Amino acid sequence: MKDLALRYTYVDSPIGRLLLAGDTRGLHYLGFPSGRGSLAPPPTWTPDPSPFANVTAQLGDYFDGRLRVFDVALVMHGTEFQRRVWTLLRDIPFGETRSYGWLAAALGTPRASRAVGAANGANPLPIIVPCHRVIGADGSLTGFGGGLPTKRFLLELEGALAPADDEQLTLI
């Protein structure tokens, strides 16, 4: 990541300032303002908001409840297995959740729930690649790079979790 000469900008959102980084091929990273998924631009990156007008507009529409599916060119940095998990995450419909076990089974590796969890946690493009839609087998909210309050906010925004609900979701 740090060796790439990317452009970056920050975009304000209801969950804080998000860092966007990419180049002419597409968006490489979306970073949260704090937590495990926070991201700071290394010296090789250049501040430049111009490549991000489309994704910024789509994020605004998403947070305003007008967008359910992102249409953004993505450059995914990860192993083949991670990229398979991230591709499957993009197939989880807006307003729905899946468990780590469900994802593992869908990948043809039903015993790989932990590996799926690790790949989910390494997702460089949260929100757009909706890792927040993955929950525990018992329906509980589980770890998230932006923190559990952010995960709860995103699931409430999408209608997968009712406001003031407990942390139990119905798996589909």
Does residue 131 carry a catalytic annotation? yes
Distance separating alpha carbons of residues 77 and 119, to the nearest angstrom: 11
Beta strands in the chain (DSSP E): 7-11, 18-23, 26-31, 46-47, 98-99, 134-135
Q: What is the phi/psi pair of residue 89, to 5°? A: -60, -40
Choosing from 131, 157, 161, 169, the catalytic residue is 131
Burial of 35: CB neighbours in 10 Å, binned 0-12, 13-18, 19+: middle
Q: Provide the terminal-to-terminal Cα distance of the chain, rounded to the nearest Å.
A: 35
Quote the tokens at residue 142.
Answer: 């589980």
User: Read out DSSP for 82-113?
Assistant: HHHHHHHHTTSPTT--EEHHHHHHHTT-TT-H
Catalytic residues, by residue number, are: 131
